Structure formats: structure tokens, C-alpha cells
Structure 1
């Protein structure tokens, strides 16, 4: 397990460090840094370029069906390379883990690699690696996922292996105790014992949100991790890792008819389970700006993060915020980079975006649009917030022209296509799985670009007024305590 890099695809991708396994033949399994916006040359494209680009739109093939036991299955053939990605997504993430068991969803993700009915401890990982593949697993706000990327002729093997642990995980006290230690050490290494640990991806939701489900320590308090019992783990598996709470995706070079036979053969007899009532995740409308300071004994420079509550997912304002993110934060041409880095010289870089544990599409509840930066001690937090307010005010007062909107669309389109093509089909599988889980519509992957195109300058103005108001904002400042 190790910390992954900060930036990936559509926005800053602060993936909680839950990497399992090491890639061999195909690639490293750790998430890699890639550009999360279009090049500056693309960002300065003309409206004519935007219109020309629309002619090159592509459709992701989607075959979607549900087994009798409730398992959602998505098949997306792609003959580009002789490889396949198999991904199992479970509709359980940080938000709805049991109270007084913070970090439990993450802990359980570790347990899924401790063996199953026919594969002993570490044998799942070895099976993938010895067949020339890579694998990974992670826990996010609203799902836990597992995926393997292997040579195409090993598809059946991977389907069998995923089904084996879905139907019968090896849950023992020895495995639980071992993984409790692993996770606690991970918390110490990645959060407690490094500068800016948990800032702001872990910290900010706890300050900005009011609902416990959205505001607790997702990584887990050490005493809560210790308190997890074998009965807790067994109950969690039976409840949330059932077929009717999951989606299975196959992307790559395969025959759909053959894949459907294997899916039915290996997953069809796994029983479904009663699911608990969905947790209430709603957040109250924020009416007053919040400001907090966090002392950091290991940091030697101050840092600041700002967060605004997002519009509800899939609304016109939601898509408008995606475009405002491109205008304000994404890329060297963004307003905040130009103002804070190029003009003022307050910092060397500004990070940010929608959903620090993924992208703006793969979550299903309240979310924050955030930005963060480390700066010199001579620069006050208020100076940085003043620049932020000025740039937002310019957009509000001057309006957003259709030309500016078109340029934001170019950047968004480039980022979206980066996401779809990411990591040998995993990016495509990720969107297909989450759209199946959250919307019962994986074909939504082919509708995103049109939804962004529907956003008008008027909708952009309405979104700025309601969602980028200072009273919808939380500020978190890191106070450095390290001796230089």
C-alpha cells in the first residue's frame, strides 16, 4: 500500500491510498499522474474548433442487463488491444459505514484480499500476476471497487476468481487482526506522520459537512478500527457484498455472447440478500461562511483550502459547476492559476476540483468543490481568499460569454475522454459501473457531453450566484509548527 499521486484525469484525484497488488506485464497498478485538463493550446481553441470537434464524437458500446439475483452486468467490447478489464463494484463506501466503526469500509476492502473458498491468502493477487495482469482495489465515498486487467484469453479465469470471493470470503480472526494492524499503520504513515497528512481530502469533509455520514473520519479512528469484531466483518460482508448490491463490468477484447455465458455460470447461483434502508445523506443549506485552523507539527509552510457545497448531481447546475471548475481551477490557463501563481506569485500551484476521491461523476451524494495550495508565510490567508472572491466576482459581474463557455467545453471534453481511455479500460469501466449503481443507466457515459452542451451562460450565472457565494464556503487553514 502506498500513497498515490495527486492529479489524475478530470480533476485532482486524491485517491485514498488503498492500492493492492503490483503490476507485472501490462503496467504498474499504482495510479499514475496524467494531465487533468486540456493542453493550453487546446484551451485556447476557437469556437470553430469546438464545432469541428463535435463531428468526431464516439459512442462507448454498452450492453446492460441484470441477473435473477440482482447483479448488474455491463459489457463493453473494445478490440483496440488484446486485453480485458474485469471490475466488481459494490454499493458501499465511506459514507454509510456503521457508526462507531469509522474506517470500516476501508478495512473491509483489505479483507477481500485475504482468501476465499478456492483461493488462499494472497492467491488472488498471485493468480492475476502470474497471468501477466495487474489489479487494484479502493474504497470511495459511495462504492468499493476491485478490478483486474489481464490478457484477453484470461477473462474466464478472472470472472471465476471474482465470483469465488463474492460468494465466499475467508473471514477469520487471524485475517482480521492482521489487517487491522495493516490499516492502522497505513493511517499513521499516510496521515498522522507526514506534513499536510489528510489535508484537505480527509479533513475538509469533516469541517464543511454537518451530517455524520458525510462528516466523519473516513480513514478511521484507531480505536474504532481496534473495536471491529469478527461478527462485524461477517455481517458487513453478508449485507453489502451481495449480488443485488453490486455491478460487474467487462471492458475490452472479448466475445459478448461467451462472456454472458461465463457470467451466468459463475455468478448466477450466488444468492442475493436483504438490503438495509438507505441512509439519509442530505446536508442543510449552508448560510454562513465557516473558518477553521489546523495545527500541523510537521508542516513548515502554511496551506489553505476552500470548499463550496455542490449542486445536486445530474442537475443543470451540477454540469455548470463542472464547467466553472474548468474555468477557475483546471490547467495553467485557469483563472485562479493565473491570478495566484502568475500574477500574485502567492504559490507555485493551485490544486482542486470536484470530488477529491475520484471525479465529478463517480459519487452519489453531497459533494464539495474544493481548491487548496501551500504558500509562503508572508502571504496571509485573507489575501488568498480576496483573490478567490475577486475572480468569482468578475465572472458574476461580467457574465460568461458563449465563447468562454465553448472553451470550457473543450477542456471538459478533453478531460472526459482522458477519463474514458484511462489505464487500459479501467476509466471506462469505472464510469460504466458507477452509472449502473447510482443511475441504473450505464449508457449515461454516452450522454455526458450533450449534458454539458446544454449549459447556457444564464445557467452559469445562476450557479455562481447560489453555489459560489461566500456563505456557502468553508475555509481550512494549516498552521505550520515544524521548526526549520
Structure 2
């Protein structure tokens, strides 16, 4: 789903703009809460009259800046009968604007030794670049130029329809395990069309997009009142706000900003399906559970459950399925996996797991071992040692994200919290949220959200090819719901 990265010589690495405090000591065997603030990220938050949210995070450690523009439109919010439209539009944004011709935005970044990228996710489409800080004004102007005046032409649309269709063919239709399970699980586990459609796009619907569709989509969703601008790095906040007011301030807000209901009912029956993949050399298995609502104590507990069960060589499922039983060499998964982080979405979400295994082991045998691991978490309180190790993992992952050399991870969190929660400062409370989780809350959350009736399972079998044009979904599957 990501546009290919355009790289040039960019000799810089941003350091973590944080003050690291020592961890609080705890009595032996006690479950120690993480101290309330470990990494303090500078955050300035503003809003323009046209609705644009602006987040600035100054960091003078190296002379670089990272600019991100996040639009609150992702693939689960795209119009009916236009699957893949959000992703198609991501490509359109690189086709030129009023003052920058086709590919000139990319060329401008490359000429200044920068790095850029863009991606489409469940709830947003983003565009970002890391550049020398002395060019910050230039790229604020460039982002504003395409926000207010994208080059929407039939030539550009036709060209990008071909690009996107080829991407679908390469990444899904002609790829072993293409779309498995990241495209398949949401379509089977969810019941609301907006969460359950093929978001990479049906080839016929990609072809059916018209110039009028593109213009309407741009006018409605690519507007300042549906966007967040983040500037992080070696910048002067007051100077940045002056530029932002100058270049983004005159852009009019959308007058027709409407979003569908994306809520999901509580799942009450297990769902199972079988998918046939002619290109796959071995069978595979995937499962998913709906996670608790975001920003709740149960969600924080689910984040730690994810770390305990599937993340890292010391995780429970890795120990059992890889080390003890030898079913596979790797178990992958997570919350919002593999399309994002546990934090950068805004709606119903799945915790999923997957593995490729030999033909000599049945899916039921694997699931029995998964169930045994889950049941232990539901029946017994997790030890202080294991819970603290999971909290340390969470803290380590957060620091890795904030310390990314291009600041993309930092920008992503700031933009997500501003876009979805109107609260970019939450980035400095993440450790406290995780630190408050107790063994009792872990058990309670496992009992409610890891129940079999909240689970979806897909078995992938090597075999005959699926009908043409349908391999991007689960249409070859036989689905049964069991209590």
C-alpha cells in the first residue's frame, strides 16, 4: 500500500528529543508501574481558522526537519463501488499541482538530498518528507500547493489506474500468500462493509473511477479541516507558524466533510474459512480477535497481551509453536498488523497472528496449542516478571519509534493523536497508560476479548487457482460460523 521510497544522499540522523528518567525501584516480586513520564517530546499544538491542525516538535540536535501531512481519509472510509479509491488517490497526489509539474515534488526533495514517502492506511492517507531544515519553508509551500491545487487530469488518472492495477497484480494476485492474511482477515472478521471490503481494490472498480469522482474526492477530503500538518526537527516554532499561516491559511475548508458509520457489532460466533492459493508452496494459518476500544484500560492491557503472546523470541506463542512444537520458523502478528502501529488507527481493529507450516501438521493441532496458551492467560494471573518484561518491551518500542533517524515514527504518532484524539500531547502519556496495567486487568481482558466467539480463522491451502480477479479477497473460502 506504500508508494515506493525515493531516496537521495541524506546524511543525517535525528536523535530522540527526550529526557530519560531512571525507572522507579520496586520491591522484589512486585508489579512496578512505569514512572509517569520517561520520554518528554516537545509538542506545540495550533489550529488555523480553516480547521487545519498544526503540530510542531522542535529538536535542534541535527539540522534536519521532517514534514508530514495526514489527511483523515483511509481505505475503510472510501466510497462504495470504488474499492481501492483511497489508495489510487495517494498516487494521484504525486502527479503534480498548480505550480509543480508531474514528478517535480519528488525531484525537489531529491535535489535537496531528502527522503519522502506516502501511504494509505485504514483511517488516513499521509505524505511526508525528511529534508535539510533550511528548506522547511520550501516544502511547506509545496505541500500547500498540492493541497489547494492538485493536477487532476484524465491523463494522470489513466496513468495511475494502470500503476495501481499493476501493484495489485504484483503484490496480491501473482504473489504466494498474496493478501494473506492482511487483506483476508478484515474482510471475514468484520460485518460492516466499510471495514470488510477489499481495500486494495477490485480491478474493475479501479478502472471505473472517473475524473468527476477524483475531483469530488479531492474537494471533500483533501481539505485543511480534514488534515494535520506536523513539523518536527531543527525549526523555530514561531517562524514555522508564520509560514503555515501564509501558505495554508488561505486554503478553504471542505463544505461537505461526511464520514460513514464504521462501528462493528460484538462478535458472538467464531468464523472460519478456507482459502486456496495456487502459488503457495505450504499451508498457512491465520487468526484474529477484535480488540478493545482505543484509549481504554482494556486496550492498554491488550497491547501488553500482544507483546507477551506474539512479539519477540520470548513470546509465549513463539516458545510453544516454534521452539517446542517446531510447527514453523516464525509467528507474526499484532494489533493493526502489518499495515500500521497499535496507535495509528481510529475505529474497530483486529489483533491477528499467522504462520506458515508443514503439511504434516493440522490446523486444529496448532489451534489447540494456541488455545492452551490463551487459556492460561485467562485462568491465571500473569507473573510480575512477565508483566514487567512486557512493559519494558512497550517502552523500548516507543523509544525506537521516537528515535527513528528520519523522525517518521515521531511524526506518525503526533499526527495520529492530533487527527483522531485532538491531543498530540498524548505521546507523552503512553508510558503511564501502559504502566497502570495490572495482572487482574490482563486476565479480565483475555477472558472477554480472546474468547473463541470473538475469533476469526482462515486456513490457507496450496492448490487450484482461484477464479480470476478474486484472489485479493476471501471469495474462494468456505465460511462457517460456529459457537
Normalised TM-score (structure 2): 0.91
1:274 Cα deviation from its structure 2 partner: 1.6
For the Cα contact (< 8 Å) 1:47–1:407, is it kept in 2? no
Question: Equivalent of 2:145, from 164, 173, 176?
Answer: 164
Question: Equivalent of 2:185, from 190, 204, 210?
Answer: 204
1:475 Cα deviation from its structure 2 partner: 0.4
Question: Equivalent of 1:358, from 340, 343, 354?
Answer: 340
Change (3 A) 1:81 1:482: farther
Structure 1 spans left out of the alignment, 5+ residues: 1-15, 29-44
Instruction: Describe how 1:101-250 pairs up with structure 2 within 5 A.
Output: 101-250=82-231
Local SS of the residue matching 1:424: coil
Q: Deviations over 1:158-209 (max 9, x none)?
A: 1010000001000000000000000001000100001000011111100111
Instruction: Describe how 1:368-383 pairs up with structure 2 within 5 A.
Output: 368-383=350-365
Instruction: Describe how 1:305-454 pairs up with structure 2 within 5 A.
Output: 305-356=286-337, 357-454=339-436
1:481 Cα deviation from its structure 2 partner: 2.0
1:132 Cα deviation from its structure 2 partner: 0.5
1:461 Cα deviation from its structure 2 partner: 1.1
1:457 Cα deviation from its structure 2 partner: 1.4
Q: Deviations over 1:93-120 (max 9, x none)?
A: 0111000000000000000000000000
1:401 Cα deviation from its structure 2 partner: 2.6
Number of corresponding residues? 451
Alpha-carbon distance in structure 2 between the residues aligned to 1:122 and 1:27: 23
Change (3 A) 1:382 1:60: same
For the Cα contact (< 8 Å) 1:68–1:268, is it kept in 2? yes
Alpha-carbon distance in structure 2 between the residues aligned to 1:185 and 1:458: 49
Change (3 A) 1:434 1:120: same
1:460 paired to 2:442: yes
Q: Deviations over 1:413-451 (max 9, x none)?
A: 101111222242110000000100100000000011101
Aligned to 1:253: 234
Alpha-carbon distance in structure 1 between the residues aligned to 2:249 and 2:9: 31
Alpha-carbon distance in structure 2 between the residues aligned to 1:460 and 1:49: 16
Change (3 A) 1:159 1:458: same
Runs of 4+ in 1 over 3 A off after TM superposition: 45-56
What's the Cα RMSD here? 1.9
Greater CA drift, 301-310 or 54-63: 54-63
Alpha-carbon distance in structure 2 between the residues aligned to 1:170 and 1:68: 25
Change (3 A) 1:53 1:439: closer
Aligned to 2:50: 69
Aligned to 1:19: 3
Normalised TM-score (structure 1): 0.90
Alpha-carbon distance in structure 2 between the residues aligned to 1:304 and 1:101: 30
Local SS of the residue matching 1:312: coil
For the Cα contact (< 8 Å) 2:34–2:436, is it kept in 1? no
1:405 Cα deviation from its structure 2 partner: 1.5
Q: Deviations over 1:13-45 (max 9, x none)?
A: xxx3x22441111279xxxxxxxxxxxxxxxx9
For the Cα contact (< 8 Å) 1:21–1:125, is it kept in 2? no
Q: Deviations over 1:219-247 (max 9, x none)?
A: 00000000000000000000000100000
Change (3 A) 1:49 1:180: farther
Local SS of the residue matching 1:417: helix
For the Cα contact (< 8 Å) 1:299–1:482, is it kept in 2? no
Local SS of the residue matching 1:437: helix
Alpha-carbon distance in structure 2 between the residues aligned to 1:403 and 1:341: 22
